Structure 1
Amino acid sequence: MTTPRDLLIVAMDMASSRPPERGDLSLALAGAEVIDLLNAQAVRLDGDHIVPGDRRALDDRLLDEAASSLLRQAPYESVDDWLWRRGRGLSAAYVAAFEAEGQLTRQRRRWMLFGTSRMVLADTPARRLAVDRWTSDEPILATLAAAVGLRDERAGDPPAVADDAVATVLAAVHDALRELEAERQRRALDEAAFNNIWRGE
Structure 2
Amino acid sequence: MNRKPSDDNNKYLNLLNLDSASAVSEVSKLSSELTGDEHTIRSSIIDMHFAMELEIKRFLYHLLRRGILFSDDEERGKKAKKLNDAIDRIPMGTALNLLEASIKMSPWPDLGNIWEINKTRNKLSHRSNINDVFYKGRNPFTDTDCLAQMYFDVWAVTQSISKLFERVIDTPLTMARHYYKISEIYRKKFGELDPDDIPKLDDYPEW
State the TM-score bracket (shorter-chain normalisation). under 0.3
Between structure 1 and structure 2, the one with the greater Rg is 2
TM-score by length of 1: 0.26
TM-score by length of 2: 0.26
Q: Tell me: higher relative CO, structure 1 or 2? Use CA pairs within 8 A at least 6 residues apart.
A: 1
The answer to which structure has the higher strand fraction is 1
The answer to which structure has the higher helix fraction is 2
